[in-house]
Structure 1
Amino acid sequence: MSDKSVNQWKTLDKDLGRIWRLEQATQLIGRPLVAPGIALAFIVLATVASALLLGASFSVIVIAAAAVGAYMALNIGANDVANNMGPAVGANALTLGGALVIAAICETAGALIAGGDVVGTISSGIVAPDAVADAATFVWVMMAALLSAALWINLATVLGAPVSTTHSVVGGVVGSGIVAAGFTAVNWASMGKIAASWVISPVMGGVIAAVFLAFIKSRILYRDDKIAAARRWVPVLIGIMSGTFATYVAIKGLKKIVNVDLGAAVLIGLAVGVVTWAIVMPLIRRQSEGMENRKKSVKKLFGIPLVISAGLLSFAHGANDVANAVGPLAAIVHTVEAGDVAAKVAIPAWVMVIGALGISVGLVLFGPKLIRMVGSEITKLNPMRAYCVALSAAITVIVASWLGLPVSSTHIAVGAVFGVGFFREWHSERRTRALGIRKGKVVAPDERKRRKLVRRNHFLTIAAAWVITVPASALLSALIYVILNAIA
């Protein structure tokens, strides 16, 4: 082969190499844009679909609201659902892919099967309906609230802070409502209860989770015969879990199918719990046969119950929180079509579908970041600790419903994770101190600080996000309302 031919091949190789590197660079740059591109496509599809479904009652305002509602649903999926799936993923009971699939299915099923078909248009009495009786004003109040809540949740997701969807919507309604009708239009007693829930929700969730973890440690893990103790208590704990979730779903997730009061829901939970205990007891005995008498063996017994609890939490979340997300959209649709402001409105099927699908799409596209943070970056979780978190979330919601307290499922779940972490710190330090006293050793303060089991930076970031959610979304909503009102 001549030198000329060899040089030609070398030149071709260099050109191909440059093209290959350009393709790699293009893929590297374009990869972060894939998820936002799909999200934008979903918003466009939701907007077009709503326009086609409305037909003759087509309205530019409703179509714009549908686009904002789709954007809101995407953000809820990216932020809120992490609280349900994070502990299971952090405990390695579920892979991230498996968690995304289960959550997407259960969230959608909860929204479409048991989602509330009626929603309070002004976020459960936060703003008096007669204060914004003018239809045009009311539409802009709801539009500003919806958009501000979506933007705030989006920002919180970027910052890695799980925040409350309900509180974001409430803050949005308060901000635009004050600008539209003044401070007297706001029900400050309801706002006081919501502010109190910032403390009550996480503390209650954390305490209950810590109590269950302490029980498991004392009754199972620190026993000489751990397998025998597990055979006795794990079926009881699973029975408690199933009974609690039966009560939880009956209260929060079955309103559309049948109206169940708290007493009937508790009776349903007791019945389900006893039946589950009777079924699970022989299964746990069979599963534990041949297991080594150590903690790692016991942890395996909590894997499947944890996966089931995560799915049930997602179902109940879809049934309960989708209505909060699309409530302002449903209010806008009713007001534009009927021309008046109603205290409560029915949620059209197409609005609920947008909410349900949007949550699933947002979860798959943007959820992994917060799932990892909640599941593994606050404190280390295993199946037992994650089980305590899931059970605490359900029990706390039931207790809060009984006491009439407005609580956030986000605050409860994350508070339970912190509760488990801080209990582990306290328990570990107590055992280390007791061991040091017996051996005549004292642990240095620097070493004790190094052994902290909860990441303080996440604690401060999340606590700050919780506190400023309502004020931030309110200010943002007020600004958006002023802009929309000026444009109109």
Structure 2
Amino acid sequence: MDSDIVLYIVVATALAFDFTNGFHDTANAIATSISTRALSPRAAVLMSAIFNFAGAFVSLAVAATVAQGIVEADAVTPTIVFGGLIGAIAWNLATWWFGLPSSSSHALIGGMIGSAFVAKGASVIEVDGVIEKVIIPALIAPTLAFAVAGASILVAYRVVGRQRPGVVNRGYRLGQLVTGSLFSLAHGTNDAQKTMGIITLALIAHGNLPANDFEVPTWVIVSSATAISLGTYFGGWRIIRTMGSRIIKMDPAQGFSAQGAGSAVVLTASHLGFPLSTTHVISGGIMGAGAAKRLSAVRWGVAGNIALAWVLTLPCSAVIGGVAYGMSQLFGDDALGVIVVTLLVAGLIAAAFGTRVRRGPAITSPAGVEA
């Protein structure tokens, strides 16, 4: 009975992480469209939520990587999964609080690594898998998006250089309806699968699914798609402002180029089974679109803060995940420790949001745009 309770809490926590993933990463898909006024904020989040939901059904390659390529599946217990999820949720909310675009994907992977390390030691970490499917893509993907977006904006300016700005801007705003939808689809395809993989891993550890035949149940796909799309709809306005206006002052052509480059990179990674950071990719695309116009167009100080958050994500979420697992074990191997940690984390989140509400809303919509 205790193990069943732990599994229920793990599934609920995984879906809560999926919600924070959508909430945290809304900016990845729509910040550029809002910044260039291609879409109103509410229309943008609705569009993104729909395509995030649809994207979750496109592929399961990333889910398999998360479930089998980061930590040895045979060594995982539901409590280890729980610790990893707490690490990811805590880091997502911390970076949201400060308006920093960090990687929900790397937060989840870091949390799992930290929790598994404390529970079983370093031997259960799939080091080669982490390097090949997390670290290397994390370095290549934003660089590739930077280069593709930069080349795209140079071509775009060359093609429309003699046209009237009003006509050009209207055309690229229409184009952003397509690229924004495509990036939202790509986000759902890559990010929702991470939660599917984690829940499936917990089901395998609990004995509900066979370990030698990886298959994601339909209810896991639907619930994960629903959670991430709901999180997307409610939106993380604090990060939208950073992505949409603080890195560069963006025009519609730059927004179109950044979104198009990001979509291509994320969809390719999803096909190959790489759990990519969509935050890294779109940030690289935005910087590339700005730098190709002129280097001074990019606010490199803001870019440096974002890069620092990227570097800190894996180790910090790993530490939190390890601490969460360790705290749960203070009460033994039964459900009590997981329940206590769940209540403690819920209380801390409620207190933090209560403080935010008493002080008044910090940012309810992107800079200068009514939600």
Q: Common fold, TM-score beyond 0.5?
A: yes
Q: Which amino acid aligns with 2:188?
A: G
Q: Cα distance 1:122–1:373, how it changes in 2: closer, same or farther (>3 A)?
A: closer
Q: Cα distance 1:76–1:295, how it changes in 2: closer, same or farther (>3 A)?
A: same
How many angstroms apart in 2 are the aligned matches of 1:423 and 1:334?
48
Q: Cα distance 1:117–1:425, how it changes in 2: closer, same or farther (>3 A)?
A: closer
One of 97, 112, 119 as aligned partner of 2:42: 97
One of 130, 155, 158 as aligned partner of 1:215: 155
Q: Bigger CA drift: 57-66 or 81-90? A: 57-66
Q: Cα distance 1:152–1:301, how it changes in 2: closer, same or farther (>3 A)?
A: same
1:464 paired residue number: 308
2:64 paired residue number: 120
Does the 8 Å contact 1:117/1:347 carry over to 2?
Answer: no
1:82 paired residue number: 27
Does the 8 Å contact 1:143/1:329 carry over to 2?
Answer: no
The alignment-based identity, stated in percent, is: 27
Give how far 1:76 is off.
0.7
Give how far 1:124 is off.
4.3
Q: Bigger CA drift: 100-109 or 318-327? A: 318-327
Does the 8 Å contact 1:89/1:95 carry over to 2?
Answer: yes
Q: Cα distance 1:417–1:117, how it changes in 2: closer, same or farther (>3 A)?
A: closer
1:395 paired residue number: 264
SS at match of 1:160: coil
Does the 8 Å contact 1:118/1:346 carry over to 2?
Answer: no
Give how far 1:344 is off.
5.8
Give how far 1:183 is off.
1.5
2:89 is aligned with 1:150: yes
How many angstroms apart in 2 are the aligned matches of 1:156 and 1:478?
19
RMSD: 2.7
Q: How does 1:29-178 map to 2 (within 5 A)?
A: 59-111=4-56, 113-114=57-58, 116=60, 119-120=63-64, 123-130=67-74, 132=75, 138-178=77-117
State which structure, 1 or 2, has the greater radius of gyration over its C-alpha atoms: 1
Give how far 1:95 is off.
0.7
Unaligned runs of 5+ in 1: 1-55, 227-293, 427-451
Unaligned runs of 5+ in 2: 334-371
1:188 paired residue number: 127
Does the 8 Å contact 1:331/1:345 carry over to 2?
Answer: no
2:363 paired residue number: none
Give how far 1:470 is off.
0.9
Q: Which amino acid aligns with 2:83?
A: A
Deviation string, structure 1 residues 382-419 (Cα, Å, up to 9, x no partner): 22111100111133346657998764222111111111
Q: Bigger CA drift: 452-461 or 376-385? A: 452-461
How many angstroms apart in 2 are the aligned matches of 1:325 and 1:418?
29
Q: Which amino acid aligns with 1:299?
A: N
Q: How does 1:195-234 map to 2 (within 5 A)?
A: 195-221=135-161, 223=162, 226=163
2:264 is aligned with 1:320: no
Q: Which amino acid aligns with 1:191?
A: V
Q: Which amino acid aligns with 1:365?
A: F
Q: Cα distance 1:77–1:328, how it changes in 2: closer, same or farther (>3 A)?
A: same
How many angstroms apart in 2 are the aligned matches of 1:165 and 1:482?
22
